[in-house]
Structure formats: C-alpha cells, structure tokens
Amino acid sequence: MRMKLKAMAGIAALALAAAMPHALAPEPAQAAVDTQLLPGVADLVDKLLPTVVEISVQSTNPNAAAGGGGQPDMNPFKDFFDEFLKRKQQQGDDQTKPDDKAKPNDDQASPDKKDDKPADNNLVNSMGSGFIIDPKGLIVTNNHVIADAVNIQVHLQDGTMMKAELVGHDPKTDIAVIRVKPDHDLPAATFGDSEKVRIGQWAIAIGNPFGLGGSVSLGIISARGRDINQGPYDDYFQTDAAINKGNSGGPLFDLQGNVVGVNTAIFSPSGGSVGIGFSVPANEAKNVAEQLIKYGETRRGWLGVKLQTLTPDVAEGLGVDKSKGALVADITAGGPAEKSGLKPGDVIESFDGHDVKDNRSLQRMVAQTDVGKSVDVVVQRDGKEVALKIELGRLEEGEKIVAAQDKPAAPSAPVAPQQVLGMTVSDISDDLRKRFNIEAKVKGVVVTDVSSDGVAADKGIAGGDVIEEVAGTTVLAAADVLAAVDDATKAGKNTVMMLIAHGGSDDDKRYVALKLKK
C-alpha cells in the first residue's frame, strides 16, 4: 500500500461530561430521540468475500513492501508479519508444484517448469489484494502490487492457490489486470457507477492487510476528487474505511455490493491506518481494465495541447468572464488540436458535451475518450464562443511526436536590448541561447534582466524566460514586444497577456498578465 509520510501536528480535544442532577432530568416522553442503527453488512459480505483475492508476488523491486509502497515499516509487529508472509509464500510455492493429482493439461500444476525460476536471494516477497471481474479468471489489482514481478500467485477465499500471468498494467492510474486459469467459473464482482457515489455514503473495504487475508472494514466516502500527486489523472475517493499495507488493489464496495473504487494509497505518519485512504474510482478503473484486457495496453485519447491554470488575473487579461475552464498554453505541431483550428490562448469550456472545470478534469475527459472519436469542443476566444470539431489522436503516439519535435532554431543577429514593463528584453542570439540554456525549438524574445520592483518581477518572470506571444501576437524581436505593449496601452487596456516559456523550456509555458502603466 502506498503511503504519504508527513509530519503532522494534532490538537487533542477532551470532552468532559458532568452528571446532571436528577431533578433536572427530562421526563421519558421528552427524552425520546430518533436513533439510526449502523447498517448490517454480514449477509452482503458473505457474498462479496469470495470475489476478493490475496496476491503474493516475488519481484525484483527492492522497494517492494507488503502491498507495495516501499516506505520504512514502523509497524511494531513487523517481525511477526514478515514471518507470516514467508509462510504464506511457501504455501503458495508448495501448492503450485506438480503432484500426482495434477491433470495433464492443468495450467495450475503443469509439469513443464521452464518458466518457473528458482528462488533468488535478490527477489523480494510482497503481498497485495485484488478482485475477480470475470468468472474465467480475470483479476484487477494495482500496478504497484505486481510491478517487476517474476512470479505472481493468487489465493482464493476457499484456500485455492493458482499461478497468475500479467495481462496488462498502467502506471499512470496504478491499475493492472492479471489472469488465472481455473477449472471452474469463479465468483466475480461487478463494477458500479462511481459518478453516482456521494460523500457520506457507506463503503466496505475487503482485502489482505499485512498478509492476514479476508479482512473487512466499514466506513464512509469521506471526499471525492482528491489529487495526491501520484499521476496525471488523480481523482481519488477518500475513505475512512480501514485500509492498510496489503489492501492495495482490493475493492471498495457500496452497500449494493458494487465495486465503486480500487483501494490504492493511504496517508499515514505511522505505517498503519489513520482513517485516510484513497481509492481509484470504479469508472476509471473499469475503463483502463477493459483496454488492458482488449489490447494489453492503454489507448487514451490525445488532444495535442499544453495547458495552463486559468487564474483570475489571466482570465481578466484574456477577456474571459470567469476563471473556469482549461487554458491552452501551446499547441503540438501536427496534433489533433492544430488540425482543428484550436489556438494558444483559447479557453476550453466544454468537451464532448461536458463542462470543463479545470485542467485536470479536461485531461481525464480526453484520456477516457475513444481514439479517433470526433468530439465537439467549445472555447472562449477574444471574448466570443467558438465551436470546434476535433478528431482525437492516441496519447501513446502523441508522446512520441512531441519527443521528436526538437529542431534547432535558426541563428539570429544580436540587437540592442530594450526596456519594457520592468524587463530587459533582447532578440535571441546563439550566445544568449547558450548562456540561458534555451531549448533549440523555443523561439521568441529572451528576458535578460528583471527589475526587482517592476511588474514583471511581481509575476515571477526571471532572466532566461522567453516571451513567445504578446496580446495574442507572436513576437520574434524585442521591437515586436515594445510595439505590442504600446498598442495595448493606446487601446486603454489594463493588462497585457504574454506567453512565457519559463527558463527557455518548451515544456513549461504559461500565460502571464502584466499590468500596464497608466
């Protein structure tokens, strides 16, 4: 189980109760209080337990721990659990060896052991959880549970142990699918609709904490949309249902018995549950799992843009009424966005019929949309709404295109530096490109110095930054910057927008709104 270890400061509150004198006690009729019993889940758990499995892994990952995470283990019962894990692993090794009961074509006990590697002192034993999604033996778990695995074993609720093979894995969402080959249909869990999950509703976590197996805990959904900096598509549920190391990959159920999340990480300063766990929403996990099963890899939609957070001052500079949406900072040459007419400075407000809240929501929408689908996109441009039609490419191919676009810029003759809005700006020369380590494909006007008391310094602009656009116009010379700022001032604008390549990096562009002198 992944953990995020932080120093925490807590305030302990003591609730003191004093006995009320008998004379002041209310009458029984007045003391009637409505009560609500906790839900009984025993019958439901009986049905769900067989769908959840324990997963034992031998891997080459030196950071592997029980259920992943790789963090220091501060558990006072560490020695006990380490010995427990060794016994469980040994049981799996013993039960997957050929015996006289094995059938000739039994994949669980095949006499052909060429793929079985002898025990290696460099291999690390770890355990996690998973759940069956297909009676024929398909199982969902976390990517970090099976990372670098050379041997994966699945332990069913009835004690059966089977060797598993990897179907596919996705580090970006931490979802993986493995397969076992049983001789009969297995009980399978059903995905629910995580969009309908509400904060405060009951949730049941079942998994394999510390290798104990078949453990059930009850809690609620504490929050939605958590970003814990684990990947580009973070949108976790938070739950206080107890999950610990080893619960990774296990399901989070609702009270109808549907999987609403895949338990993936915990926040813990001690190594154990403190009531803050995180689960991948079922809709995302299901989408990734289906792709892994069908293709053995993910096939995500690709728009071909770089995005920037739309802050209130940037929204004002762009003439956008509200700071809601995703601001396009750059367009990938040859990508779907460029072909459709999308431009830097556009604010994407709607994608495929869904409102765009911010960059993260747009990234998830695009990633979950089928490759090749033609989607409707609505943007704000120059104070007007513009409707576009964009046929999505494939992210995995787009990443290769972006990596290949690194062409050297043509050398330019140096000119005299210019002063504007607290900055000294110059045309990019070979010497300046080398001095500030400006990437070859970045074109524009380089900032060579910034006044500490100017408006540029207030916005974090520094020497080595490259101005690529001013007020929506591409600039290639220092004189272009001065002219654009002068035009904005004469037009009575309060701010002027500049597109900045921070530190001369093509991968770190942002719009900056600079106030004009009046």
Q: Which residues are catalytic?
A: 144, 174, 248
Using an 8 Å Cβ cutoff, are 207 and 140 in contact?
Answer: no
Nearest to 443 by CA among 498, 503, 506: 506
Nearest to 162 by CA among 137, 129, 187: 137
Q: Residue 485 corresponds to which tokens in the numbers above?
A: 């700022």
What is the spatial distance between Cα 426 and Cα 404, in angstroms, rounded to a whole number? 28
Alpha helices (H) in 74-124, listed in sequence order: 78-95
What is the spatial distance between Cα 467 and Cα 423, in angstroms, rounded to a whole number? 11
Using an 8 Å Cβ cutoff, are 205 and 263 in contact?
Answer: yes
- C-alpha 421, offset from chain centre: 39
What is the spatial distance between Cα 208 and Cα 272, in angstroms, rounded to a whole number? 14
Phi-psi region of 134 (alpha: psi -120 to 50; beta: other; left: phi over 0): beta
Phi-psi region of 178 (alpha: psi -120 to 50; beta: other; left: phi over 0): beta
Using an 8 Å Cβ cutoff, are 392 and 425 in contact?
Answer: no
Amino acid, single-letter form, for residue 293? I
Alpha helices (H) in 13-58, listed in sequence order: 42-48
Nearest to 127 by CA among 167, 90, 96, 170: 90
Q: What is the 3-state secondary structure (H, E, C) of 176-244?
A: EEEECCCCCCCCCCEECCHHHCCCCCEEEEEECHHHCCCEEEEEEEEEEEECCCCCCCCCEEEECCCCC
